[in-house]
Amino acid sequence: MEYRFSSRVSQLTSSAVRDILKLTQGKDLISFAGGLPAEELFPVDAVREAADRVFRAGPGVLQYGLTEGYTPLREQLCERMSKKGMAVTPDEMLMTTGSQQAIYQLVGVLTEPGDTVLVEMPTYLSSLQVFALHGVQTAAVESDEDGMIPEYAEEMIKRHKPKLLYAVMTFGNPTGRVWSVERRKAILDICRKYGVLIIEDDPYGDIKFNPEDSIPTLFSLEGKAQDSIVVYTGSFSKTVAPALRTGWAMGDKRIMEMAAKTKQAADLHSSTLDQQILSQLLQFFDLDGHIAMISREYGNRMLEMHRLLEQAALPGVKWQKARGGMFLWLELPDGLDAEALLRCAVQKGVAFVPGSPFYAASPKRNTARLNFTHNTGERTAAGVARFAEAIGEFTARS
């Protein structure tokens, strides 16, 4: 039997990250590849207690829910958001299956096939899959340590007339970078001028290594959801746990209503059990204390990986310390192809993600993303040693 698949889907490549994740399952490989939080830090006891509270309310908790999401959770989230300077009401919010689904639904309602989206260079890998699936073109904007470069953004807007700009501005994936406040304001101004909507994808914003580090979201710079050009996506995957698959979108009510309509067709609604558990957690668990704890721990792990890399004295390898999030972004020596390096590294028992797939265009093949949150101590040390060994072979060869 010959099956005929949608042309858009046939062209879709599977995410390199997820494929490596799959390949390495069960193998004795030290993986810096996946964007995996540290599972030993998941608040499983608190989640169990929260679940118990949910179940105690009786069988009604297992009924169908609203597409928009569990109302008490949306109310609690709005309160949390307001503490971060983001004024939003429950009807300006849509609960989703992770922020990945929030991005997918938003791109679906805000673009037509053939439209263009501006993205960072490099950008979040799985956002590129979303764009491809919706038949949307991407235009990559030159970016540096401080974020997208406004002049390039304006030039690209004039040239491509994009509907959307998509970026992870705080502790970005893959680079870990933080956009400066000036850049945030400059990009906001430009997008306002040309009527380009912005998807501010912020799954990592809470994971900051210096608690004093104050980074305003674009959404907070806009002040409110109504008439805003910013739509914000958030997630509990990094702050609580990925298995609960709960994220959200927030923005103008008209956009949220449209996204709820398409979500209704896509899956009716996300897990109500997960949403109720999170609602109980927000009420009875010190989530902010928990986030502070994992942020401290992740900060230490980042420093440790940084120290190990420095110690390895890899010739021509450059990176910057991360201020938050989950990743270090490495520039390898000119001419070193990170995909070839990965094949060698996997044989030595360590995995990472080559940088190329994160580029919508003109990939820098000598870049790599290393996750520092999932391993500790000896495993991190052994992993970096194996990584250094692989690099050594390549630099010796060339």
Q: How many residues lie near its own copies (CB under 8 A)?
A: 88
Among 16, 190, 221, 229, binds its own copies (CB under 8 A): 229
What CA–CA distance (Å, rounded) separates 247 from 244?
A: 9
Rounded-to-integer distance, Cα 231 and Cα 133, Å: 20
Contacting residue, 30, 33, 47, 168, with its own copies by CB under 8 A: 47
Rounded CA-CA distance 398/396 in Å is 6
Q: Is 187 a residue that touches its own copies (CB under 8 A)?
A: no
Kindly state whether residue 52 participates in binding its own copies, applying the rule CB under 8 A.
Answer: yes
Q: How far is the CB of 168 from its own copies (least distance, A)?
A: 15
Give residues 96-125 in contact with its own copies (rule: CB under 8 A): 96-98, 100-101, 104, 108-113
Question: Least distance in Å: CB of 397 to its own copies?
Answer: 35
Helix-helix angle 287-312:377-397, to 10 degrees? 40
Rule CB under 8 A: choose which of 24, 55, 72, 385 binds its own copies: 55
Q: Report cis status (omega within 30 of 0) of the bond before 174.
A: yes
Task: List, in sequence order, every beta strand (DSSP E) within the chain.
Answer: 30-31, 93-96, 116-119, 137-140, 143-144, 147-148, 164-167, 197-201, 230-235, 247-250, 327-331, 350-351, 353-354, 367-371
Q: Which of residues 249-308 bind its own copies (CB under 8 A)?
A: 252, 254-255, 258, 261-262, 264-274, 276-277
Please pick, from the candidates 20, 31, 33, 67, the single residue that binds its own copies as defined by CB under 8 A.
67
Given 114, 212, 214, 227, the residue binding its own copies (CB under 8 A): 227
State the minimum distance, in angstroms, from the CB of residue 55 to its own copies.
4
Rounded alpha-carbon distances, angstroms, from residue 334 to 49, 109, 260, 351, 365: 52, 41, 47, 21, 9
The DSSP code sequence of 325-377 is SSEEEEEPPTT--HHHHHHHHHHHTEE-EESGGG-SSS--TTEEEEE-SS--H
Q: Hey, how many other C-beta atoms are within 10 angstroms of the C-beta on 220?
A: 19
Rounded Cα–Cα distance for residues 294 and 288 (Å): 10
Contact 128, 134 (CB under 8 A): no
**Residue of 5, 289, 315, 377 that binds its own copies (CB under 8 A):** 5
DSSP bridge partners of 318: 331
Q: Closest distance between its own copies and the C-beta of residue 91, in Å?
A: 12
Q: Is 66 in the site for its own copies (CB under 8 A)?
A: yes
Candidate residues 23, 24, 42, 331; the one interacting with its own copies per rule CB under 8 A: 42
Our finding on whether 18 is near its own copies (CB under 8 A) is yes
Tell me whether residue 126 or residue 180 sits nearer to its own copies (CB atom).
Answer: 126
Q: Cβ 320 to its own copies, closest distance in Å?
A: 26
Q: Cα(218)–Cα(221) distance, rounded to whole angstroms?
A: 5
Query: Is residue 347 a contact point for its own copies (CB under 8 A)?
Result: no
Among 64, 361, 362, 377, binds its own copies (CB under 8 A): 64
- One character per residue 128-167, x = contact with its own copies (rule: CB under 8 A): -xx-xx-----------------------------x----
Q: Please give the structure tokens belonging to residue 38.
A: 């540290």
> Nearest-CA neighbor of 218 among 238, 237, 197, 235?
197
Q: How far is the CB of 194 from its own copies (least distance, A)?
A: 13
26 binding its own copies? (CB under 8 A): no
203 binds its own copies (CB under 8 A): no
φ, ψ of residue 232 in degrees (nearest 5): -110, 140
Q: Which is nearer to its own copies, 180 or 262 (by Cβ)?
A: 262
CB of 329 to its own copies, least distance (A): 21
7 CB-side CA count, 13 A: 1
Looking at 170-178, 208-216, 221-229, 383-391, which segment touches its own copies (CB under 8 A)? 221-229
**Residue pointed to by tokens 């949390």:** 80
Closest distance of CB 122 from its own copies, Å: 18
